[in-house]
Structure 1
């Protein structure tokens, strides 16, 4: 009779202690720096990323190397504990982003949203691909196919960050404006296409750059979309209706969390990006009853207050601004930022003008959709994980994400002063103010 395998030993005490210390310190500093950033009228994600810069190789690694090595030892097993926690956080964050998708808004403004969204995708994608193809070989990771790198950079530059955009519009009281509505609708188009492109390019990076590596992920993507909307859609709809009849919030939150994580695991198993599955799961939940989605407020609070800041702080740990000391790298950063901004703003402007929007409205849309923020940070992390980016190119992509997110609010302030309020906007503002006055026993709606 074979002997049972010995039990797996628990995590060593010192490794557990360091992990708990790292996680607690990163969350604490991320919350503090995020609040500081918002007081300075910047996105909270900028402050949260600064935590990683302060504790990583850029600051602490140079000022006190011994302290940095003790707090963040150069041990893969130790760092992977933080990575695993951060990956759960970012998967749930992407799921929540999908849950905030208003599919009815996308249907109502489909023509304008598609024109603006595609305009903001095609030009940055083309410019990003060209930049990736012309990137010096010294900046490419060893063994990375140039075609895959160029495609990955193109995807990174063409996306927009719907969570950052929505938060910026909310903070500036622009959600009710026509520009705000079109921005959200076009941002949804960018998000959906961006996750599909990321999944395809990621699969190519893992499987090579041959024809099969393109066809296989496209077929897998088609299969996932078909199963999601034709099989899972009706099942999730029935489950959401059943959840509406129960008052057990804990069960609803736990079930939704499990659904997002399992959806991410399913797309990952098919060779696609896990974030794609999480996003699709969120879009299915977004079509559920408002009362059920309101019960998910605890999940949203925990993810945005704990897991997301931890992920952004962890992402910042890999950011080494010392690489910018090299003139060639600094020049590459400036060119990449210029391409990202001009490509997105010009592309959105052209798409908006094509459907009859004014020049100032088109510029406002370009400035808002220029924010890459959360989505580009996720893409950069994926690129580093699968080996398409190295430390230097990762730093460049993250810098573009931060810089473009910081630009959104000033551009919107400058352009929106020149756009008059319409009667439709005034009515929408009135309806919104009525909806905001709710009885104390009702849970208010939330916006990412």
Structure 2
């Protein structure tokens, strides 16, 4: 029965003072340490992302809970509502980051070389997926939660092995000033294909964990995916163009920044409502803003600064808070973790390298593509959290999957740096770099640790 219109609802109580205090301390501490360790990482020749990821590891069960358990329990209480506040800030940050990534996509290159990216992605999907499924059947039964079917666990591990992380790839490429390079653009394009396939497979395996998967489940997910792309190419393009044209009349950058953020968040909500991942909607609308919006890049520079220097570091720092490295002291868990890590690295590298070589890239370009797509990062964390929530992964298996996410993200920058030093920059890339400078409003070789 609907409530009577004559009986007004009682106002919602505001957030409790202790909860607000803990939340503010969490955000302030995570951001402070993320900036500090991010700067330290850049001084050591690594992207800021590396330092930001380790903040959560330091403050989580892996270190602080062992060194100062009372302090860790007070600062990060085992209260879902408290932790969800922090998660909400991180989610907004990663969605805006993915939207910014879409804005920087060179769709002309995608149209010209989409087939090449698909070939690269195919190798990077098939081999790690197969190896991951095989590994799932060979891992000790103690890593599989009681009552979970071994086939479901193995399929889930295969999905975790084949995904790539668009947010991590994007931030790594931005950190290393490689986003304007053809290899960077192809890495993002192939990563988008990887993620689309990964989210589809994740939905299928998740359905299998709850109830028997049906042909209808698969067809529905594919249908939604196709419908979103068709909508973006037809109604979405003029809609985005119209919204940004209205805000562009102002001399201030505020309305343009707000409009871009609104479009990204609403698109994310739309894809999430359809059962797909929110990051997919953010990426698609980001592409539309960058191609159909025709926005003055300098007007979106404030959004870029806030996201890359504030919101995104908080998200990456939050990623390690649920990880427990102390479980790796058990020999069977450590050996299983090393085996899964080796399978993840070798499988992705071999698959992408083979696909790139078959697409007539030289060995250094193939190596760079393999390094970029090997970074699992945040997407792996999301996949692992889904597995933990559904009961497919034990705490030990969850930690192993997160270990893959961190190690592969750490490996990408040095290998990319070595490989890209041997790949000459083309005239097309120089033009794209000049456009990229307009977005950042900084010299090509500026000292910004984020860009």
Fold match (TM-score > 0.5): yes
Aligned to 1:265: 269
Q: Which residue of 1 aligns with 2:185?
A: 184
2: CA distance, partners of 1:17 / 1:170 = 34
Tell me how far apart the structure 2 counterparts of residues 155 and 420 of structure 1 sit (CA, whole Å).
32
Structure 1 counterpart of 2:313? 309
For 2:379, what is the secondary structure of its paired residue? helix
Verify the 8 A CA contact 1:152 1:198 in the aligned structure 2: no
Given the alignment, which residue of 253, 274, 277 partners 2:257? 253
The range that moved more, 124-133 or 50-59, is 124-133
Cα distance between partner residues in 1 of 2:433 and 2:93: 33
Q: Check the 8 A contact 2:37/2:51 in 1, yes or no.
A: yes
- Report the Cα distance in structure 1 between the residues aligned to 2:230 and 2:52, rounded to whole angstroms: 37
Partner residue of 1:94 out of 98, 117, 130: 98
Q: Deviation digits for residues 253-307 of structure 1, max 9, x if unmatched? A: 1122122212222222222222222222222222135544442221222122121
Question: Which residue of the other structure, out of 122, 125, 132, is the alignment partner of 2:136?
Answer: 132
User: What does residue 218 of structure 2 align with?
Assistant: 214
Residue 414 and residue 313 in structure 1: after superposition, are their counterparts in 2 closer, same or farther (change >3 A)?
closer
What whole-Å deviation, never above 9, does each CA across 1:327-360 have from its counterpart, x for those lacking one?
1211121111111111111112211221223334
Report what 2:340 is aligned to: 336
**Alignment partner of 1:321 is 2:325:** yes
CA distance in 1, matches of 2:293, 2:443: 14
Matched, 1:115 2:116: no
Shift of 1:374: 3.8
Q: TM-score, normalised by structure 1?
A: 0.86
Work out the CA distance in 2 between the residues paired with 1:430 and 1:272: 36
Aligned residues: 440
The answer for the alignment partner of 2:401 in structure 1 is 397
Residue pair 2:101, 2:170 contacting (<8 A) in 1 also: no
Matches within 5 A, 1:134-173: 134-141=138-145, 144=148, 146-165=150-169, 168-169=172-173
Tell me the equivalent position of 1:3.
7
Secondary structure, counterpart of 1:335 in structure 2:
helix
Question: Counterpart of 1:6 in 2: which secondary structure?
Answer: coil
Please list every run of 5 or more consecutive structure 1 residues that lacks an aligned counterpart in the other structure.
none
> Retained in 2: the 8 A contact 1:204–1:214?
no
Could you tell me how far apart the structure 1 residues matched to 2:367 and 2:132 are?
21
Q: Distance in 1 between matches of 2:389 and 2:99?
A: 20
In structure 1, C-alpha distance between the alignment counterparts of 2:175 and 2:275, rounded to whole Å: 38
Q: Aligned-residue CA RMSD in angstroms?
A: 3.2
Give per-residue Cα distances to partners, 1:370-409, cap 9 Å, x unaligned: 2223433344344445554443233222221221122223
Query: Partner of 2:301 in structure 1?
Result: 297
C-alpha contact (below 8 Å) 2:136/2:154 kept by paired residues = yes
Aligned to 2:202: 201
The 3-state SS of whatever aligns with 1:58 is coil
What SS does the aligned partner of 2:19 have? helix
Contact 2:48/2:175 (CA < 8 Å) preserved in 1?
Answer: no
* Cα distance change of structure 1 residues 166 and 65 upon mapping to structure 2, 3 Å threshold: closer
| Greater Cα shift, 82-91 or 67-76 | 82-91
Q: Give the secondary-structure state (helix, strand or coil) at the position aligned to 2:398.
A: helix
Q: Structure 2: which 5+ residue stretches go unaligned?
A: none
Q: Tell me how far apart the structure 1 counterparts of residues 268 and 211 of structure 2 sit (CA, whole Å).
A: 22
> In 2, distance between residues paired with 1:433 and 1:190?
21
